[in-house]
Copies of this chain bind each other. A is one copy, B any other.
Amino acid sequence: MKQKYQSLVHQTIPVSKAIGWDIESLDIHYIKAHIKLAPNINIHGTGFAGSIYAAAMATGWTLLKCWYEENHYSAELVAAEANIQYLAPVTEDFYCLATLDKSEPQYRKLQERLSQPKSCGYQLPVKVECNEKVCAILTIQFVFKCA
């Protein structure tokens, strides 16, 4: 599964390759991506805010894409809005992590709506970690669009 989605993302979102984004671990409810610092530095030699965001967005999108495809739902997945908080500088290669929490009301609602099928929103947090410290949190408002 990891290799399938790694190839899909690298082939369809070329920026994911340019920023050195790779999947380290993936199942339908969890993703951990590894990102190289070198292509993503800013003027301070730390992670560029734009690269950190792009890496986290690719990570969140990949998890939801994997989840709905492996569940055989049919939808188009887009980001409607997002908020990112930068908490500490990224000083080394870093990780982006996201989990689909099955206990959340929005998870059950999403399953119900996609089964009909009807469009549905989903808010996903993605953590950015470097050296075991949370450096940023991206919260993405996704929309699953059904025809």
Q: How far is the CA of A119 from the CA of B86 in the complex (A)?
A: 17
Using a CB-CB cutoff of 8 Å, which residues 42-56 of chain A contact chain B? 42-44, 48-51, 53-56
Contact of A79 among B41, B49, B57 (CB under 8 A): B49
Which residues of B lie under 8 Å from residue A53 when comparing CB positions? Answer: 50, 53-54, 57, 82
Copies in the complex: 2
Q: Are B76 and A44 in contact (CB under 8 A)?
A: yes
Question: At the interface with chain B, which of A14-22, A102-110, A127-135?
Answer: A14-22
Check: A28 CB closer than 8 A to any chain B CB: no
Q: Are B13 and A43 in contact (CB under 8 A)?
A: yes
Which residues of B lie under 8 Å from residue A61 when comparing CB positions? Answer: 49
Q: How far is the CA of A4 from the CA of B49 in the complex (A)?
A: 21
Check: A115 CB closer than 8 A to any chain B CB: no
Which residues of B lie under 8 Å from residue A44 when comparing CB positions? Answer: 76, 78
Check: A12 CB closer than 8 A to any chain B CB: yes
Minimum C-beta distance from A144 to chain B (A):
14
Q: Which B-chain residue is minimally distant from A54 (CB atoms)?
A: B50
